[in-house]
Chains A and B, each alone.
Chain A
C-alpha cells in the first residue's frame, strides 16, 4: 500500500519556535476542547496517552544560509539563514535551533571565545545574544539579549550600521565596526556600550599620513582582527584599503598600513608578525607588523590568478603547520572573464595548489585545527549556498569528508518520498554495504566537528526514508535518528538513453590546467531529462524487491544484488488505452531503453521494466512481493504486472471517453514554466564559459510575465457538482493488494483494488497458481466489483480491515513473524478514503456501514493519508491503529479504526505551503516528514511513544588562560551513538550546575 505521492518542491520555511522543545502546551489545549463529560472522559485520557503532536527536528540543509560561525572551544558550528533561523551543530546528533523574532537575514554569527554564548547580527542591524543553557540535563539554545547601536541624535543611520564584528578573546568585549567608519566597543553579554573606548573615525583619520591617497574618505569598517599574541591590539581595516593597528589599552593607533586597493578581508597570522589583506582586484598583500610605521612596508603582494583582471578575494586565511610550510586559503580571486562565475576556494600548501570548485555561492569558510597544540589545520569547512563541504587537509589529495548531517537532500530536486519502518537487519546491512562501495572517494577521517554530547537513546528501530529525484535517482536515508544520514544512492538513468552528453562532465581536471580546478560537492540541480524523474517508490523490506516509477510511464522492478552484474533490461510496453479511439497523446515520448547489456554496480539492480503507453506520469504504484506482482496506474488506467513471469496480467482503462485533457500530457502551466526555465538553465550551463546574461534576463522576464498573468486571474471559484465528465476522473490515485473476502465470506482470495480521481473503486479477484507452478501457470485477474462513490471525490486510499478491525498486514510480514496474522474468521471491511470522506463498507457484499465526512463539514480535503500504529505511553502493551490524515488546510488528524471517528487535530503546515503539504509522508508509527524548503525535511510526531528528537548537552568550556585552546573532555563523535549511563548523567548535571554557578558569579 502506498499513500505516498507526487512531487513536492520549492520554498517556504515555516516558523519554528525559538527553543528546541516545541509547543507542548498546544495539544493539551486541543485535548481540552474535545473533552466532554461522562464516559467519554476515559477515551479522552486514552487519547492523551496515545497522541501528542510535536515538531521534533529538521533534517537536511538549511534553506538560504547566510552566515557561518564556529567555536573551536565548543567545537560547534553555527549557521544562520535568510529567514532569521540559527542552527548549531556539533557531533552527529547534537543539534540546536533558534529563530529570531525579526524575520531578517542573519548576516554574521560569532561565538564568544571560550564561552557558550554567541552573537548574531541581522540585516536589520540588530545584535542578538544566544546561549546554550542546560536544563534538566539537556542544553537548550536561548536568546538572552538583544541590542541595537544608537548613534548621536541626528546622525545618519550609516553611523551605526554594523559592518564588522569582533568578539574579543577576553570574552567581555564586542567591537562593532560600522558603515560610518566608527568602531563601537560594547561589553558583553550585557550589551553595555563603553563609549569612552569607542574608536571614532576622527581619531583615526587625524593620524593618517598626509600622503595616503584615500585619507579623505576611509569608508566603512570592513574588517576587525585581534592580534593572536596580544589581545590589546586589533587591526581595523577600512573599505578604502587603509588598515590601522590600534592599541585598546592606550587608545591610539600603533601602525598604519596604507593599502590602496578596496579592502575585502584581513588576517593576522598566528605569530602576530604579519597581517594579510585581500582586495577587490584579486590581489592579496602581506604586511610586517611592528615595523616603525607607514611607508610601503608591504613585504609581498600577489595576484594569484593574475595577468587578466580578477575578481575579489573575499576572505584569506593563513595557518602554520607543526612542521612544514603553512597553509594559505582564500576564496574568490578567479580571472573575471573566463572563470568569473566559478565559486572557488584556493588551498595552497608548499607546491600544492588546488582551486576547489564549489557548486554554489560561497557564504563563508573556516579551518578546524588539530594536532598536539591545536595548530595544525585538519579540515576546511566551506558553507556554500546549497551545501556544506568539508575537506580533509591532512590526507593526501585533500579528499572530502562525508557529512553526517546538513546533507543537501535536494542535490537533485526531490520529486517523491517513501518511508519504511523497522527494516530487518539483513537488508539494512546489505544497503549499507552497497552504499559504502559508492563512497570510496570520501576521506576515512572521522567527522571533525565533535562538540556536545548526544544523549538521545539509540533509535528503537531502523527506518529508511527513500527520496526520489528529478534526475532519476533514489536516495536511501537512515531516518532512524536525529541525523538523516545518506546510506545509498540508486540511479535509474543507466537503463535508458538520455540526451545527456557523456562528454558533458566539464570538471575533468586535465593536466596542467590553470587554475587547477577540482570539483567538490554534490549539489547538481540540472536534470538531463525530466522524464527520468521518480514519481513513486515501493520497497518490500522483507524481500528486498524495489519498484520505482517515473514521469514517462516507466516502472522498474529492482532487486538487491551484492555483486555487480551486466544485464539487459527488457521493456514491456503496456497499452493502457485498450482501444479507446480518438485520442492523441500530446505529451512527451517514451524513454528510449538501452538494448545492449548494462553493467549495474552492486546494490539495487533493475531486472524488469514496464513502459506505459501513453507514457503519462505514473500516479500510483504498489508491489506485492509474496505474489510477485506490481500494480501501476496513470491518468489513463492501471495494469498488473507479474515480475516473475515478466508478463502483464491485467490492463484496465479508466479513461472517460470525453476526457480530452487527460491526453494533453504534462498538464499544468506551472509545470511548463518550470520546464522552460529548466531548459534555459540547461542552455546556460552548456555555454557556461560565455555567460549569456541576457538569457537569464529572458528567463526572468518570462517567469515574471507568467506570474503576473496568474495573479491577474480573478479569484473566483466555480461551484459545481462533480460529474463523470470532469477531467482526469480516470486518473488512478491509489492501488492496493489485499487477501480478503471478495466473492463469498468463506473463501479469502488475493485481490487488487484501484481508486480513481472520479471516485470510482475497482476490485479484481486474482488467481495465483500454486507455488510449484508459479513460474509457468499464468496469474489471472477477474473483475469483481466496482463502486462509484456518489460524491465522486478522488479516492486517495483503500484499506481492508480484518475481523478485529485492524488493517491487513503487509505482504510477508506474517511470514517473517513480525505481525499477527489477520483475523480471517470475522467479516472484513473495506475502508475507502476519498478526499472528502472516510467510508467503511462491508465485505464480501459491499454495502456502506459507516462514514465520516470531512469536506462537507469543515471544507478541508484529504491530501495525505497513512495507517499508523499508536502505542500508549502509559501501558506498554496497549496500542491501536489509526489513520493519519493531512488535509489541504495543513492540519493533521488522527481517525480511529475501524470506527472512523475523529480523534485529534493539530495544525501542522501553513495551508499556503502547497509543496510542503504535497511532500508529506507518514511512518507506520505515527511520525512524518514534510519539506519545509527544497532542502529540508521537518520531522514531526503524533505518537507519544515514537518520538525522535535531539537530546544533547554542551558543556561550558573550562576557562583556562587564553593562549591554550581548550578541548572538550569527551570526544562526542565516539559516543555519538552510545547511550550515556545514568550515573554519568548525574555527574554531568553536577558539573553543569557548578559551571552555571561559576558563570553567574
Chain B
C-alpha cells in the first residue's frame, strides 16, 4: 500500500515557531556548532557538527556508523525534536531540518533496522503519554500491514503529514459500512475515481431484494482515492456528504460528488468486508502488524481511545460528518474576488497566482477587507477527535492567508519544505 503524503516536518504552526527559533539561535550560539548526542542501544556518543555545513545525510550516516563502530549494520536514525517527538532522519532534508532545529542539543537515536519497523509511528513514547489518540493515527498505520513485507519503511508521525483522508463516524455506523472523508484541499492530486450503476442486494422484511445502486468502478492510479486505500473498486456508495443516494441517478450522484469535491465524505459498503472495523471487540493489538487490515485498527483505536464527544452527546444518526460538512462549507466560500484597484484595463489576465491582493471572501464581511481577522476555530476541531487533522490543515491555510500569500503559493511553500514519501 502506497501512501504518499506531504511531509511537513511539523505542524504548520510548529514549523513557523521553530523557524523563528532557528533565526534566533545563531545569535545565541556564536560558535556556530551543533552539539550532537547519539545513542545506539546502550551506548552514547557526543560530538559536534558545523551548523552551516553539516554535510548531507549519507555523510552523517557514515559518520555515525564510524563513531558507534557499527560499520555495515543497517540502522535507522531518529532525532528528538523540540516537542520531544521522535522524528526520522532518512534523507538530506530532514537531516538538515534536524540540525537546524537542534536547540542546543541534537539528540540522535539509532536503532537496528530489523527491530520494530513501526518504530516511529508507535514508539514515540513521549507523545503517547500525552495522549496521542486525539490526533488519530489513521494515515500512518494504514501502511503497517505492508511494512512487514518491506522492512525498512520509514514511517513518520501523524502530525507530520498532511491529512488526505480519514475514516469517520465509526461509532455510529454499522460495521459493514465505512464513511470516508477525502481531503481534496491542499493537494493537487486528482480525486481519481469513477462510479457506475449496478445492482445492490438488500435484505428486507420481504426477503432479499435487488435494487439499483451506485458503485465505484475504477480507481485512478496515483489518485487521492486510491492512495487512501479506503475505497475500492465495487464498493457500493450509500451516501454522499450525509445524503442518501438511494433513488438517485448516476448523474445525480456524480454531480453531488463533484459539488462536494472540496470536502467529499462518502459512505460506502466495501466490497471487501474483511477489513471492517471490529466494532466493540477487544482492544487488540491490531494497530501495528495485525493481519486484519490497518484500516480496522484505526477505527477501533479511535472509538476506544477517544470516543467522539459529538456522538456521545448525540447518539442519533445525526451524523458528525454532516455537521462537519456544514462547517466545512465555509471553505468553499472562498471565492476569489479581484476588485478594481488591481485590475488593469484590457489585460487579458487569468486568475492565477499573480501578486495581486487576492482576498478570500468569508461570510463575515470584515474579513474581506483585512484577512487578518482571526478565524474562529472550527467547532469540530474541538469536539470531534477525528477531524483534528482537518482543522490542522485548515489552520495552515489560515496562517498562510495571514501571511498575505495566496492559497496556491502557500501550497507551494508546503510542497517545498515537505516531501513526498512512500511508505
A residues with a Cβ closer than 8 A to B are 578-580, 650, 652-653, 656-657, 714-722, 724, 742-743, 760, 765, 782-791, 793, 836, 841-842, 845-849, 851, 853, 855-861, 888-889, 911
Can you list 12 pairs linking A and B with CB atoms under 8 Å apart?
Answer: A578-B348, A717-B253, A717-B254, A719-B258, A719-B261, A721-B190, A721-B262, A845-B368, A847-B362, A851-B333, A853-B259, A856-B259
Candidates A650, A720, A849; contact of B261 at CB < 8 Å: A720
- Chain B contacts with A in 234-251, Cβ cutoff 8 A: 240-241, 243, 245, 248-251
Q: Is B340 among interface residues, defined by CB-CB distance under 8 A?
A: yes
In the complex, the answer to whether B333 meets A848 with C-beta atoms within 8 Å is yes
Instruction: Give chain A nearest CB distance to B331 CB in angstroms.
Output: 8
Q: Is B175 among interface residues, defined by CB-CB distance under 8 A?
A: no
In the complex, the answer to whether B336 meets A787 with C-beta atoms within 8 Å is yes
Contact size range, B: 35 or more
Question: Which of A718, A742, A793 lies at the interface centre, i.e. has the most chain B CB atoms within 10 A of its CB?
Answer: A718
Residue of B nearest to A789 (CB): B335
Q: Is B395 among interface residues, defined by CB-CB distance under 8 A?
A: no
Q: Is B257 among interface residues, defined by CB-CB distance under 8 A?
A: yes
In the complex, the answer to whether B255 meets A847 with C-beta atoms within 8 Å is no
Instruction: Give chain B nearest CB distance to A900 CB in angstroms.
Output: 14
In the complex, the answer to whether A719 meets B254 with C-beta atoms within 8 Å is yes
Q: Which of B26-34, B35-43, B193-201 contacts A (4 or more CB under 8 A)?
A: B193-201
Q: Is B324 among interface residues, defined by CB-CB distance under 8 A?
A: no
Instruction: Give chain B nearest CB distance to A784 CB in angstroms.
Output: 4
Sorted nearest first, the 5 A-B pairs with minimum C-beta distance are: A859-B252, A721-B261, A855-B259, A788-B336, A717-B254
With the chains together, A855 CA to B333 CA distance in Å? 15
Known: A656-B350, A719-B257, A845-B369. 17 other contacts (CB 8 A): A652-B348, A714-B217, A716-B217, A718-B194, A719-B254, A721-B258, A721-B261, A721-B262, A782-B345, A790-B331, A846-B368, A847-B361, A853-B259, A855-B255, A859-B245, A859-B251, A859-B256
Once A716-B196, A855-B255 are accepted as A-B contacts, the answer to whether A784 and B340 lie under 8 Å apart by CB is: yes
With the chains together, A334 CA to B196 CA distance in Å? 55
Candidates B241, B252, B340; contact of A783 at CB < 8 Å: B340
With the chains together, A857 CA to B241 CA distance in Å? 8
Q: Is B135 among interface residues, defined by CB-CB distance under 8 A?
A: no
With the chains together, A734 CA to B139 CA distance in Å? 44
Given the complex, which residues of A lie within 8 Å of B184, measured CB to CB? 721
Question: Which of B197, B225, B335 lies at the interface centre, i.e. has the most chain A CB atoms within 10 A of its CB?
Answer: B335
With the chains together, A785 CA to B241 CA distance in Å? 33
Q: Mark B205-218, 1 if CB is under 8 A from A, else 0.
A: 00000000000011
With the chains together, A716 CA to B192 CA distance in Å? 13
In the complex, the answer to whether B335 meets A720 with C-beta atoms within 8 Å is no
Q: Is B338 among interface residues, defined by CB-CB distance under 8 A?
A: yes
With the chains together, A783 CA to B349 CA distance in Å? 11
Given the complex, which residues of B lie within 8 Å of A841, measured CB to CB? 361
Instruction: Give chain B nearest CB distance to A719 CB in angstroms.
Output: 5
In the complex, the answer to whether B335 meets A859 with C-beta atoms within 8 Å is no
In the complex, the answer to whether A653 meets B252 with C-beta atoms within 8 Å is no
Candidates A785, A856, A858, A861; contact of B340 at CB < 8 Å: A785
In the complex, the answer to whether B243 meets A858 with C-beta atoms within 8 Å is yes
Given the complex, which residues of B lie within 8 Å of A579, measured CB to CB? 348
Candidates B250, B252, B261, B334; contact of A889 at CB < 8 Å: B252
Q: Is B191 among interface residues, defined by CB-CB distance under 8 A?
A: yes
Question: Which of A650, A719, A783, A859 lies at the interface centre, i.e. has the most chain B CB atoms within 10 A of its CB?
Answer: A719
With the chains together, A855 CA to B254 CA distance in Å? 10
Q: Mark B338-365, 1 if CB is under 8 A from A, else 0.
A: 1110011111101100000000011101
Q: Is B409 among interface residues, defined by CB-CB distance under 8 A?
A: no
Instruction: Give chain B nearest CB distance to A764 CB in angstroms.
Output: 9
In the complex, the answer to whether A717 meets B252 with C-beta atoms within 8 Å is no
Instruction: Give chain B nearest CB distance to A857 CB in angstroms.
Output: 6
Once A721-B258, A722-B258 are accepted as A-B contacts, the answer to whether A784 and B343 lie under 8 Å apart by CB is: yes
Given the complex, which residues of B lie within 8 Å of A793, measured CB to CB? 259
Q: Is B63 among interface residues, defined by CB-CB distance under 8 A?
A: no
Once A716-B217, A719-B193, A848-B363 are accepted as A-B contacts, the answer to whether A765 and B340 lie under 8 Å apart by CB is: yes
Q: Is B382 among interface residues, defined by CB-CB distance under 8 A?
A: no
Instruction: Give chain A nearest CB distance to B78 CB in angstroms.
Output: 37
Residue of A nearest to B215 (CB): A716
With the chains together, A650 CA to B347 CA distance in Å? 11
B residues with a Cβ closer than 8 A to A are 184, 190-197, 217-218, 225, 240-241, 243, 245, 248-262, 264, 329, 331-340, 343-348, 350-351, 361-363, 365, 368-369
In the complex, the answer to whether A716 meets B195 with C-beta atoms within 8 Å is yes
In the complex, the answer to whether B336 meets A859 with C-beta atoms within 8 Å is no
With the chains together, A715 CA to B195 CA distance in Å? 9
Given the complex, which residues of B lie within 8 Å of A836, measured CB to CB? 255, 259
In the complex, the answer to whether B250 meets A720 with C-beta atoms within 8 Å is no
Instruction: Give chain A nearest CB distance to B371 CB in angstroms.
Output: 12
With the chains together, A724 CA to B350 CA distance in Å? 10
With the chains together, A842 CA to B217 CA distance in Å? 43
Residue of B nearest to A651 (CB): B346
Question: Which of B241, B250, B348, B351 lies at the interface centre, i.e. has the most chain A CB atoms within 10 A of its CB?
Answer: B348
Instruction: Give chain B nearest CB distance to A389 CB in angstroms.
Output: 42
Instruction: Give chain B nearest CB distance to A386 CB in angstroms.
Output: 33
In the complex, the answer to whether B255 meets A719 with C-beta atoms within 8 Å is no
Given the complex, which residues of A lie within 8 Å of B362, measured CB to CB? 847-848
In the complex, the answer to whether A743 meets B340 with C-beta atoms within 8 Å is yes
With the chains together, A718 CA to B362 CA distance in Å? 30
With the chains together, A846 CA to B332 CA distance in Å? 16
Candidates B193, B253, B329; contact of A859 at CB < 8 Å: B253
With the chains together, A724 CA to B106 CA distance in Å? 45
In the complex, the answer to whether A911 meets B249 with C-beta atoms within 8 Å is yes
Given the complex, which residues of A lie within 8 Å of B197, measured CB to CB? 715
With the chains together, A636 CA to B339 CA distance in Å? 23
Given the complex, which residues of B lie within 8 Å of A580, measured CB to CB? 348
With the chains together, A541 CA to B264 CA distance in Å? 47
Given the complex, which residues of A lie within 8 Å of B334, measured CB to CB? 790
In the complex, the answer to whether A716 meets B252 with C-beta atoms within 8 Å is no
Once A720-B190, A721-B262 are accepted as A-B contacts, the answer to whether A857 and B243 lie under 8 Å apart by CB is: yes
With the chains together, A784 CA to B346 CA distance in Å? 11
With the chains together, A764 CA to B338 CA distance in Å? 12
Instruction: Give chain B nearest CB distance to A969 CB in angstroms.
Output: 55
Question: Which of A760, A765, A786 lies at the interface centre, i.e. has the most chain B CB atoms within 10 A of its CB?
Answer: A786
Instruction: Give chain B nearest CB distance to A807 CB in angstroms.
Output: 22
Instruction: Give chain A nearest CB distance to B329 CB in angstroms.
Output: 8
In the complex, the answer to whether B258 meets A782 with C-beta atoms within 8 Å is no
In the complex, the answer to whether B333 meets A790 with C-beta atoms within 8 Å is yes
In the complex, the answer to whether B361 meets A846 with C-beta atoms within 8 Å is yes
Residue of B nearest to A650 (CB): B346
Instruction: Give chain B nearest CB distance to A881 CB in angstroms.
Output: 24
Residue of B nearest to A765 (CB): B340
Candidates B195, B260, B339; contact of A856 at CB < 8 Å: B260
In the complex, the answer to whether A717 meets B194 with C-beta atoms within 8 Å is yes
In the complex, the answer to whether B345 meets A788 with C-beta atoms within 8 Å is no
With the chains together, A715 CA to B351 CA distance in Å? 34
Given the complex, which residues of A lie within 8 Å of B256, measured CB to CB? 855-859
In the complex, the answer to whether B252 meets A860 with C-beta atoms within 8 Å is yes
Given the complex, which residues of A lie within 8 Å of B331, measured CB to CB? 790
Residue of A nearest to B261 (CB): A721
Instruction: Give chain B nearest CB distance to A655 CB in angstroms.
Output: 9
Given the complex, which residues of A lie within 8 Å of B337, measured CB to CB? 785-788, 846-847
Instruction: Give chain B nearest CB distance to A748 CB in angstroms.
Output: 15
Question: Which of A718, A857, A859 lies at the interface centre, i.e. has the most chain B CB atoms within 10 A of its CB?
Answer: A859
Candidates A650, A719, A785; contact of B194 at CB < 8 Å: A719
Candidates A714, A788, A846; contact of B339 at CB < 8 Å: A846
In the complex, the answer to whether A719 meets B348 with C-beta atoms within 8 Å is no
Candidates A719, A849, A861; contact of B195 at CB < 8 Å: A719
In the complex, the answer to whether B340 meets A859 with C-beta atoms within 8 Å is no
With the chains together, A548 CA to B361 CA distance in Å? 38
Candidates A785, A857, A861; contact of B343 at CB < 8 Å: A785
Given the complex, which residues of B lie within 8 Å of A861, measured CB to CB? 255
Candidates A721, A786, A847, A855; contact of B351 at CB < 8 Å: A786
Instruction: Give chain A nearest CB distance to B327 CB in angstroms.
Output: 14
